[in-house]
Amino acid sequence: MAQQPFDAIVIGEGICGLTAANALARAGCRTATLEAQLFGGLVLNVNELDPAPDERAVSGAEFATELMQANAELGVASIQEAASAVHDREGLRVVATASGRYPARHVVVASGARLRKLNVPGENEFEGRGVSSCADCDGPLYQDEEVAVVGGGDSALQEALVLAKYCRKIHLIHRGERFRAQEQFVERVSAHPRISVAWNTTVEAIGGNKTVERVRIRRASAGAEELACAGVFAYVGLAPNSEFLPPAITRDAGGFVITQDTLETAVPGIWAVGAVRSGYSGLLTDAMDEARRAARVIAMQLGRA
């Protein structure tokens, strides 16, 4: 392992990882970030962050780009590779990828989460032909059409409101009897003339010919029925990107990483912040707070703060 170790490697260039790297670099730590896909994470395609991270009207892509630029100016190394494992070796943490091994004194896991699938017939078949998870990118394709949005949390309501700018009607399908979302979204959705909520209802199948034409839903009270729609957008929760971590890093039943109050995991020197962490609130502002808190403690341990 000839390579000079980094003070810290941050896994994930979502908003949380970029913020952690920024705070570490500002504290004088030699820092690298690793990214499996494109920087920006879950908010990359969100045109209007709400709530916005610092009360500015800004898109996810703009905000992430600003952070990437700031990090580059601070000398953060951005490595475009997926972390496939994290090992302990000779008192250091080593992040492995398909093509390399990167040693570091500390590792910050900010690998976030991905949208869960509905796991119903037709979902994979119609991916990109009516099944989507990006209201901002695909909304304009459904001008004056009817679409279904599935879910009852912040993302489902926020994205239903985005789609309502374009679509004739949104069927918001929720398996529960109340939303688990910020009051402002609940109020706006409830008052919107083109959003109709199907409570206590699940999606059983997605059907169509070349593209989506209908969903089969099941209402708890009335059994199954078909709903005509040209698009299906599902926001039914998140699955953590934590599979590559060693078993010694404890996780909750959903696979989210458990940390102490300090944000350190069960393995000393490995920290977890943001959407990959068990107990994370779901708000970018909180992810950024976590990132800065972890960075502060790491910098202190390295004698930089």
Name the site residues for ligand FAD (rule: CB under 6 A). 11-17, 34-37, 41-43, 46, 49-51, 82-83, 110-113, 115, 155, 158-159, 241, 244, 274-275, 282-284, 287
Q: Among residues 91, 122, 126, which one has the least CA distance to residue 105? A: 91
Which amino acid would we find at residue 282?
G
Gyration radius of the chain over CA positions: 21
> Closest distance between ligand FAD and the C-beta of residue 165, in Å?
15
51 preceded by cis ω (within 30°)? yes
Q: Among residues 175, 178, 194, which one has the least CA distance to residue 186? A: 178
The nearer residue to ligand FAD, 114 or 218, going by C-beta atoms, is 114
> Closest distance between ligand FAD and the C-beta of residue 104, in Å?
14
The nearer residue to ligand FAD, 11 or 203, going by C-beta atoms, is 11
The nearer residue to ligand FAD, 8 or 34, going by C-beta atoms, is 34
> Closest distance between ligand FAD and the C-beta of residue 255, in Å?
13
The nearer residue to ligand FAD, 230 or 287, going by C-beta atoms, is 287
The nearer residue to ligand FAD, 46 or 230, going by C-beta atoms, is 46
The nearer residue to ligand FAD, 205 or 267, going by C-beta atoms, is 267
> Closest distance between ligand FAD and the C-beta of residue 194, in Å?
19
> Closest distance between ligand FAD and the C-beta of residue 76, in Å?
14
**Residue 109 token pair:** 């896991």
> Closest distance between ligand FAD and the C-beta of residue 81, in Å?
7
Helices (H), the chain: 15-26, 60-73, 135-138, 154-163, 183-191, 284-301
The nearer residue to ligand FAD, 55 or 90, going by C-beta atoms, is 55
Residue 29 CA to residue 281 CA, distance in Å, equals 28
> Closest distance between ligand FAD and the C-beta of residue 34, in Å?
5
C-beta separation of 287 from 251 below 8 A: no
Q: How many CA atoms lie within 13 A of 20 on its CB side?
A: 36
C-beta separation of 6 from 103 below 8 A: yes
In 125-237, where do the E strands start and end?
A: 131-132, 146-150, 169-173, 195-198, 201-208, 212-219, 223-228, 231-234
Q: Cβ–Cβ contacts within 10 Å for residue 37, how many? A: 12
The nearer residue to ligand FAD, 16 or 148, going by C-beta atoms, is 16
> Closest distance between ligand FAD and the C-beta of residue 54, in Å?
11
Angle of CA points 289, 293, 180, to nearest 5°? 35
Look at strands 201-208 and 212-219 and give their pairing.
antiparallel
